[in-house]
Amino acid sequence: WDESLYGELLAVTGGKERIRYFLSDFNTDFKCDGEIDDLIKRLHAEKTKYYVALLASKTIALRPGVERLINEIRSAGLRLAIATTTTPENVTALVKSTLGEEALSWFDCIAAGDIVPAKKPASDIFDYCLQQLDLPADECLVFEDSANGVIASLGANIPTIVTLNNYTRDDDFSGAITVLDQLGESDSACTVVSGQAIDADFVSVDTLKKLHAQSE
Provide the CATH number for the domain around residue 74: 3.40.50.1000
- For residue 6, give every residue at least 6 positions away whose Cβ sits within 8 Å of its Cβ, in sequence order, or none: 167
What is the predicted pLDDT for the residue at 33? Answer: 83
Residues 131-168: tens digit of each pLDDT: 999 999 999 999 999 999 999 999 999 999 999 999 99
Residues 54-99: tens digit of each pLDDT: 999 988 899 999 999 999 999 999 999 999 999 899 999 999 999 9
β-strand pairing of 142-144 with 107-112 = unpaired
- For residue 78, give every residue at least 6 positions away whose Cβ sits within 8 Å of its Cβ, in sequence order, or none: 205
Q: Residue 195 falls within a domain, yes or no? A: yes
96 with 194, same domain? yes
Residue 114 has pLDDT above 90, yes or no: no
31 with 114, same domain? no
46 with 149, same domain? no
110 with 8, same domain? no
Which pTM does this prediction carry?
0.90
Residue 101 has pLDDT above 90, yes or no: yes
C-alpha 181/C-alpha 161 separation (Å) is 11
85 with 150, same domain? yes
CB atoms < 10 A from the CB of 61, how many? 10
Question: Are 106 and 75 within 8 A, CB to CB?
Answer: no
124 with 46, same domain? no
C-alpha 216/C-alpha 210 separation (Å) is 10
180 with 89, same domain? yes
Q: Residue 190 falls within a domain, yes or no? A: yes
116 with 10, same domain? no
90 with 33, same domain? no
Which amino acid would we find at residue 136? P
Percent of the chain at pLDDT > 70 equals 100
Q: Please return the burial class of 68, using the count of CB atoms within 10 Å of its CB with bins 0-12, 13-18 and 19+.
A: middle
Q: Which domain holds residue 41?
A: 3-56
C-alpha 151/C-alpha 2 separation (Å) is 26
Number of domains in the chain: 2
11 with 107, same domain? no
36 with 12, same domain? yes
Q: Residue 61 falls within a domain, yes or no? A: no
What is the predicted pLDDT for the residue at 170? Answer: 92
Q: Which residue among 36, 56, 76 closes a domain?
A: 56
Q: Which residue among 13, 36, 56 closes a domain?
A: 56
Q: Residue 191 falls within a domain, yes or no? A: yes
